[in-house]
Amino acid sequence: MPALDSQLSENYKQLASPHMYKDLYTKLSAACGYITVWEAGERVSQGTGFCFRADGQIITAAHVVTGRFPIRESDYTGPDTKILVKLVGQATAEYRVGFCGLTIQVPGFQAPVQIDLALLIPRVPPERPLSFIPASTTPPQLGEEVFCAGYSDELDTAFGVERMLDRGASGAAEFLTAMTQGYAADMTGPLIKRAVVGNSRRVIAESTSTNIRIECDLIYVDNGMHSGASGGPVVNGQGDAVAVIAQRPMTTVSSKEYPGLRVPSGSTFALSLQPVEFICRRFG
Protein backbone atom coordinates (compact mmCIF):
# COMPACT_ATOMS: atom_id res chain seq x y z
CA MET A 1 0.00 0.00 0.00
CA PRO A 2 2.34 2.75 -1.27
CA ALA A 3 -0.01 5.62 -0.39
CA LEU A 4 -0.33 4.47 3.23
CA ASP A 5 3.42 3.85 3.51
CA SER A 6 4.07 7.35 2.16
CA GLN A 7 1.65 8.90 4.68
CA LEU A 8 3.18 6.98 7.59
CA SER A 9 6.64 8.11 6.51
CA GLU A 10 5.49 11.72 6.36
CA ASN A 11 3.89 11.47 9.80
CA TYR A 12 7.11 10.07 11.22
CA LYS A 13 9.11 12.93 9.75
CA GLN A 14 6.77 15.43 11.40
CA LEU A 15 7.04 13.70 14.76
CA ALA A 16 10.81 13.54 14.48
CA SER A 17 11.20 17.17 13.40
CA PRO A 18 13.51 19.00 15.86
CA HIS A 19 11.68 22.26 15.12
CA MET A 20 8.19 20.98 15.91
CA TYR A 21 8.25 22.07 19.54
CA LYS A 22 10.91 24.77 19.34
CA ASP A 23 8.63 27.59 20.51
CA LEU A 24 7.27 25.48 23.36
CA TYR A 25 10.74 24.51 24.55
CA THR A 26 11.94 28.13 24.37
CA LYS A 27 8.94 29.28 26.38
CA LEU A 28 9.45 26.58 29.00
CA SER A 29 13.12 27.42 29.38
CA ALA A 30 12.37 31.10 29.96
CA ALA A 31 9.51 30.54 32.44
CA CYS A 32 11.10 27.89 34.68
CA GLY A 33 12.83 29.23 37.77
CA TYR A 34 15.57 27.66 39.89
CA ILE A 35 14.43 27.96 43.52
CA THR A 36 16.73 27.93 46.54
CA VAL A 37 15.53 28.32 50.12
CA TRP A 38 17.84 29.58 52.85
CA GLU A 39 17.61 29.54 56.63
CA ALA A 40 20.08 31.70 58.54
CA GLY A 41 22.46 31.63 55.57
CA GLU A 42 22.27 27.86 55.04
CA ARG A 43 20.60 26.36 51.99
CA VAL A 44 17.87 24.00 53.18
CA SER A 45 16.05 23.24 49.93
CA GLN A 46 16.19 23.65 46.18
CA GLY A 47 13.92 22.84 43.28
CA THR A 48 11.98 24.26 40.36
CA GLY A 49 9.02 26.57 39.92
CA PHE A 50 7.41 28.30 36.96
CA CYS A 51 5.96 31.72 36.26
CA PHE A 52 2.27 31.47 35.46
CA ARG A 53 1.70 35.23 35.26
CA ALA A 54 3.65 38.07 33.68
CA ASP A 55 4.05 39.73 37.11
CA GLY A 56 6.41 36.93 38.17
CA GLN A 57 4.13 34.92 40.44
CA ILE A 58 5.34 31.34 40.61
CA ILE A 59 3.75 27.95 41.19
CA THR A 60 5.87 25.20 42.71
CA ALA A 61 5.57 22.18 44.97
CA ALA A 62 5.11 23.10 48.63
CA HIS A 63 7.87 20.73 49.74
CA VAL A 64 10.34 22.72 47.62
CA VAL A 65 9.64 25.68 49.92
CA THR A 66 9.83 23.74 53.17
CA GLY A 67 12.43 21.11 52.28
CA ARG A 68 10.17 18.31 53.53
CA PHE A 69 6.66 16.88 53.52
CA PRO A 70 4.22 17.00 55.34
CA ILE A 71 4.20 20.79 55.29
CA ARG A 72 4.80 22.67 58.51
CA GLU A 73 4.01 26.36 58.61
CA SER A 74 7.03 27.01 60.81
CA ASP A 75 9.29 25.82 57.98
CA TYR A 76 8.59 28.91 55.88
CA THR A 77 7.51 31.62 58.32
CA GLY A 78 10.75 32.05 60.24
CA PRO A 79 12.36 35.53 60.23
CA ASP A 80 15.59 34.09 58.79
CA THR A 81 13.95 32.25 55.90
CA LYS A 82 14.83 33.60 52.45
CA ILE A 83 13.44 32.29 49.15
CA LEU A 84 15.41 33.07 45.99
CA VAL A 85 14.29 32.44 42.40
CA LYS A 86 16.58 32.58 39.38
CA LEU A 87 15.03 32.74 35.92
CA VAL A 88 17.21 32.31 32.83
CA GLY A 89 18.52 35.70 31.77
CA GLN A 90 17.07 37.46 34.83
CA ALA A 91 18.70 38.57 38.07
CA THR A 92 18.10 36.41 41.14
CA ALA A 93 15.02 37.75 42.96
CA GLU A 94 13.73 37.28 46.48
CA TYR A 95 10.20 35.91 46.87
CA ARG A 96 7.69 35.55 49.68
CA VAL A 97 5.14 32.81 50.27
CA GLY A 98 1.64 33.63 49.13
CA PHE A 99 0.40 30.16 49.93
CA CYS A 100 2.11 26.90 50.86
CA GLY A 101 0.44 23.52 51.18
CA LEU A 102 -3.34 23.50 51.30
CA THR A 103 -4.39 21.59 54.44
CA ILE A 104 -7.92 20.23 54.75
CA GLN A 105 -9.31 18.36 57.74
CA VAL A 106 -11.55 15.68 56.23
CA PRO A 107 -14.02 13.88 58.51
CA GLY A 108 -13.02 10.25 59.04
CA PHE A 109 -9.33 10.83 58.32
CA GLN A 110 -6.79 10.48 61.14
CA ALA A 111 -4.64 13.30 59.73
CA PRO A 112 -5.35 16.35 57.57
CA VAL A 113 -5.07 16.04 53.80
CA GLN A 114 -2.29 18.21 52.37
CA ILE A 115 -1.97 19.28 48.75
CA ASP A 116 1.68 19.75 47.77
CA LEU A 117 1.31 23.10 45.95
CA ALA A 118 2.69 26.54 46.72
CA LEU A 119 2.38 30.06 45.33
CA LEU A 120 5.36 32.43 45.50
CA ILE A 121 5.18 36.20 44.96
CA PRO A 122 8.16 38.47 44.18
CA ARG A 123 8.95 40.88 46.99
CA VAL A 124 9.76 43.53 44.39
CA PRO A 125 7.62 43.44 41.22
CA PRO A 126 9.66 42.96 38.03
CA GLU A 127 10.43 46.05 35.98
CA ARG A 128 8.97 44.48 32.85
CA PRO A 129 6.60 41.57 32.12
CA LEU A 130 8.23 38.14 32.42
CA SER A 131 7.81 35.09 30.21
CA PHE A 132 5.18 32.83 31.68
CA ILE A 133 3.24 29.62 31.11
CA PRO A 134 -0.54 29.97 31.58
CA ALA A 135 -1.96 27.64 34.21
CA SER A 136 -4.90 25.52 33.11
CA THR A 137 -7.29 23.86 35.53
CA THR A 138 -8.21 21.29 32.88
CA PRO A 139 -6.13 18.21 33.75
CA PRO A 140 -4.41 16.14 31.07
CA GLN A 141 -6.17 13.01 29.87
CA LEU A 142 -5.00 9.42 29.94
CA GLY A 143 -2.75 8.82 26.93
CA GLU A 144 -2.15 12.53 26.28
CA GLU A 145 1.36 13.65 25.36
CA VAL A 146 2.81 16.19 27.80
CA PHE A 147 6.14 17.89 28.48
CA CYS A 148 7.86 17.94 31.88
CA ALA A 149 10.41 20.63 32.71
CA GLY A 150 12.68 21.15 35.69
CA TYR A 151 16.23 21.70 36.86
CA SER A 152 17.73 18.26 37.20
CA ASP A 153 20.82 16.59 38.59
CA GLU A 154 21.12 14.91 35.20
CA LEU A 155 22.47 18.20 33.90
CA ASP A 156 25.99 19.45 34.45
CA THR A 157 27.71 22.73 33.71
CA ALA A 158 30.14 22.76 30.81
CA PHE A 159 33.34 20.92 31.79
CA GLY A 160 32.12 20.77 35.42
CA VAL A 161 33.44 24.28 35.80
CA GLU A 162 32.50 24.63 39.48
CA ARG A 163 34.58 21.54 40.33
CA MET A 164 37.60 22.60 38.26
CA LEU A 165 37.64 26.15 39.58
CA ASP A 166 40.65 27.25 41.61
CA ARG A 167 38.83 28.25 44.79
CA GLY A 168 41.64 30.55 45.80
CA ALA A 169 41.46 32.54 42.57
CA SER A 170 40.11 36.08 42.52
CA GLY A 171 36.31 36.08 42.19
CA ALA A 172 36.03 32.31 42.76
CA ALA A 173 34.12 32.67 46.05
CA GLU A 174 31.63 35.08 44.48
CA PHE A 175 31.12 32.74 41.51
CA LEU A 176 30.47 29.72 43.73
CA THR A 177 28.03 31.71 45.87
CA ALA A 178 26.15 32.77 42.74
CA MET A 179 25.99 29.13 41.62
CA THR A 180 24.38 28.05 44.90
CA GLN A 181 21.81 30.84 44.54
CA GLY A 182 20.64 29.71 41.12
CA TYR A 183 23.17 30.98 38.59
CA ALA A 184 23.29 27.37 37.37
CA ALA A 185 19.99 28.22 35.66
CA ASP A 186 21.89 30.31 33.13
CA MET A 187 24.61 27.69 32.68
CA THR A 188 22.38 24.64 32.22
CA GLY A 189 18.75 25.68 31.79
CA PRO A 190 15.93 23.30 32.73
CA LEU A 191 15.73 19.79 31.32
CA ILE A 192 12.59 19.16 29.24
CA LYS A 193 11.27 15.66 28.61
CA ARG A 194 8.36 14.38 26.55
CA ALA A 195 6.02 11.93 28.24
CA VAL A 196 2.58 10.34 28.05
CA VAL A 197 0.04 10.28 30.85
CA GLY A 198 -0.07 6.65 31.91
CA ASN A 199 -2.35 6.88 34.93
CA SER A 200 -4.70 9.49 36.34
CA ARG A 201 -6.96 9.35 39.38
CA ARG A 202 -9.15 12.14 40.74
CA VAL A 203 -9.33 12.69 44.47
CA ILE A 204 -11.76 14.95 46.28
CA ALA A 205 -11.00 16.47 49.67
CA GLU A 206 -14.04 18.04 51.31
CA SER A 207 -14.70 19.63 54.68
CA THR A 208 -18.33 20.52 55.39
CA SER A 209 -17.40 22.51 58.50
CA THR A 210 -15.28 24.98 56.50
CA ASN A 211 -17.22 24.65 53.24
CA ILE A 212 -14.07 23.66 51.34
CA ARG A 213 -14.16 21.19 48.46
CA ILE A 214 -11.02 20.59 46.43
CA GLU A 215 -10.62 18.29 43.44
CA CYS A 216 -7.17 17.26 42.26
CA ASP A 217 -5.96 14.68 39.75
CA LEU A 218 -3.01 12.49 40.71
CA ILE A 219 -1.07 11.96 37.50
CA TYR A 220 1.69 9.53 36.53
CA VAL A 221 3.64 10.07 33.31
CA ASP A 222 5.93 7.52 31.70
CA ASN A 223 9.21 9.42 31.87
CA GLY A 224 11.31 9.96 34.96
CA MET A 225 12.42 13.39 36.14
CA HIS A 226 15.19 13.61 38.71
CA SER A 227 15.86 15.44 41.96
CA GLY A 228 15.75 19.18 41.48
CA ALA A 229 12.81 19.00 39.07
CA SER A 230 10.18 18.99 41.84
CA GLY A 231 7.87 21.97 41.41
CA GLY A 232 8.42 22.14 37.66
CA PRO A 233 5.52 22.28 35.20
CA VAL A 234 3.83 19.54 33.22
CA VAL A 235 2.68 21.23 30.02
CA ASN A 236 0.23 20.13 27.34
CA GLY A 237 0.69 20.48 23.58
CA GLN A 238 -1.00 23.89 23.61
CA GLY A 239 1.65 25.28 25.95
CA ASP A 240 -0.51 25.43 29.09
CA ALA A 241 0.72 24.13 32.44
CA VAL A 242 -1.65 21.39 33.58
CA ALA A 243 0.22 19.90 36.56
CA VAL A 244 3.16 20.34 38.93
CA ILE A 245 5.89 17.74 39.32
CA ALA A 246 5.66 16.37 42.87
CA GLN A 247 8.01 13.41 43.17
CA ARG A 248 9.73 10.41 41.62
CA PRO A 249 7.72 7.24 42.29
CA MET A 250 9.74 4.36 43.70
CA THR A 251 9.49 0.62 43.21
CA THR A 252 11.19 -2.37 44.82
CA VAL A 253 13.84 -4.58 43.24
CA SER A 254 14.14 -8.11 44.58
CA SER A 255 17.63 -9.48 45.07
CA LYS A 256 19.36 -11.74 47.56
CA GLU A 257 21.90 -9.09 48.52
CA TYR A 258 19.41 -6.23 48.91
CA PRO A 259 15.91 -7.53 49.61
CA GLY A 260 13.28 -4.85 49.23
CA LEU A 261 15.71 -2.37 47.66
CA ARG A 262 13.77 0.72 46.54
CA VAL A 263 14.77 2.41 43.29
CA PRO A 264 13.18 5.07 41.02
CA SER A 265 10.48 3.47 38.87
CA GLY A 266 11.18 5.60 35.79
CA SER A 267 7.91 7.55 35.96
CA THR A 268 6.99 10.95 37.40
CA PHE A 269 4.15 11.81 39.77
CA ALA A 270 2.42 15.17 39.36
CA LEU A 271 -0.55 17.08 40.79
CA SER A 272 -3.08 18.76 38.51
CA LEU A 273 -3.78 22.47 38.89
CA GLN A 274 -7.49 22.48 39.75
CA PRO A 275 -6.64 23.70 43.30
CA VAL A 276 -4.86 26.78 41.90
CA GLU A 277 -8.18 28.43 41.04
CA PHE A 278 -9.33 28.00 44.64
CA ILE A 279 -5.95 29.18 45.94
CA CYS A 280 -5.95 32.37 43.83
CA ARG A 281 -9.56 33.12 44.77
CA ARG A 282 -8.97 32.63 48.48
CA PHE A 283 -5.46 34.03 48.85
CA GLY A 284 -5.48 36.64 46.07
DSSP annotation of 31 = H
pTM: 0.82
Domain boundaries, the chain: 2-283
Q: What is the CATH number of domain 2-283?
A: 2.40.10.120
199-241: pLDDT as tens digits:
998 887 766 566 777 888 999 999 998 888 999 999 998 999 9
* 3-class SS string, 235-279: ECCCCCEEEEEEECCEEEECCCCCCCEEEECCCEEEEECHHHHHH
Is pLDDT larger for residue 177 or for residue 249?
249
257-266: pLDDT as tens digits:
777 777 767 8
Is pLDDT larger for residue 83 or for residue 101?
83
What pLDDT is stored for residue 18 in this prediction?
A: 52
- 8 A C-beta contact, residue 202 and residue 217: yes
The share of the chain scoring above pLDDT 90, in percent, equals: 42
User: Mean of the pLDDT values across residues 244-258?
Assistant: 78
Is pLDDT larger for residue 239 or for residue 276?
239
- 8 A C-beta contact, residue 199 and residue 140: no
What pLDDT is stored for residue 12 in this prediction?
A: 44
| Lowest-pLDDT range of 87-91, 180-184, 195-199, 264-268 | 180-184
What pLDDT is stored for residue 146 in this prediction?
A: 95
Q: pLDDT-derived band of residue 138, with 50, 70 and 90 as boundaries?
A: very high
156-192: pLDDT as tens digits:
554 455 555 555 666 556 666 666 666 777 778 899 9
DSSP annotation of 221 = E
∠ Cα 247 71 230 (to 5°):
25
Nearest residue to 119 (alpha-carbon basis) of 163, 196, 61: 61
Q: How many CB atoms lie within 10 A of CB 23?
A: 10
59-63, 72-76, 199-203, 256-260 — most confident range: 59-63
How far is residue 83's CA from residue 122's CA, in Å, rounded to a whole number? 10
